[in-house]
Each structure stands twice: as structure tokens, then as C-alpha cells.
Amino acid sequence: MTVIVLTNCPAGLRGYLTRWLLEISAGVFIGNPSARVRDALWEEVRQYTGKGRALLVHTADTEQGFTFRTHEHAWHPVDYDGLTLLRRPAAGASKKPPRGWSTASKRRRFGKR
């Protein structure tokens, strides 16, 4: 079993995937292609996602019974004692600190109206 989830990807890529997989919801594809076809599809997805994101989940001979791959996601798979877990970014790590004082805070601080 193979599941591919696309977010913010070109419509042409979604059309390409419908040749091999069934789109059960917007951007969610499911099917049972061979491993060779699955790997070829994943390479096409990685090449044509543009600014979007992609996630591939497929059955595997592991403790969990599946494995997954990500492309341009903030959450990354990490092997932890044989289990694949998703490491999410630290809170606030992707946000830039504000540059200086805002206009409203200057007015409050210095009493200008």
C-alpha cells in the first residue's frame, strides 16, 4: 500500500499521479504500485513539487509495518531505536525576531498621539 500526500503542488503533478494512484481527497493519493514504480513516482514528485510539500508512506518490513519519506516538510523522520518518529521543529525556531519597535509601541512609550 502506498499513500502520497501533496500540499500546494502544481495541478499537472496531481494529474500525473492519477495515472498510477487513486486520488481519494484533494492531494491525497493511494494505491498499490510495485516498489520500482513507487520509487519512480517519488522521484517525479520530488522533481515537480515546485514550492509545495510532499509525503510518501508505504508498507515496509519494519517494526511499525510502514515507512515514510518527506520532501520540503518542516517535520523530518528520525530513527529512534528502530522506530521512525517525526521530529518537529522547536517552537519559535522558524520565526524571526521582530526588528525594532513598532509604531504603536513607540507611541505608547513616548506618549505621542
Residues 78, 85 contacting (CB under 8 angstroms): yes
The model's pLDDT over 31-87, given as tens digits with 9 standing for 90+, comes to 999 999 999 999 999 999 989 999 999 999 988 999 999 999 888 889 888 888 888
**Residue 94: predicted pLDDT:** 56
Instruction: Return the higher-pLDDT residue of 99 and 45.
Output: 45
The three-state secondary structure class of 6 is strand
Contact between 42 and 57 under an 8 Å Cβ cutoff? The reply is no
Q: C-alpha cell of 16?
A: 500525473
Domains of the chain: 2-111 (3.30.70.240)
At 49, the amino acid letter reads T
What does the CA dihedral 4, 9, 10, 15 come to, rounded to 10 degrees?
Answer: 10
Provide the whole-model pTM: 0.76
Highest averaged pLDDT of the listed ranges 28-32, 63-67, 109-113:
28-32
Q: Strand order of the sheet with strand 22-25? A: 22-25, 28-31, 2-7, 53-59, 66-71
- The pLDDT, as a whole number, for residue 103 is 75
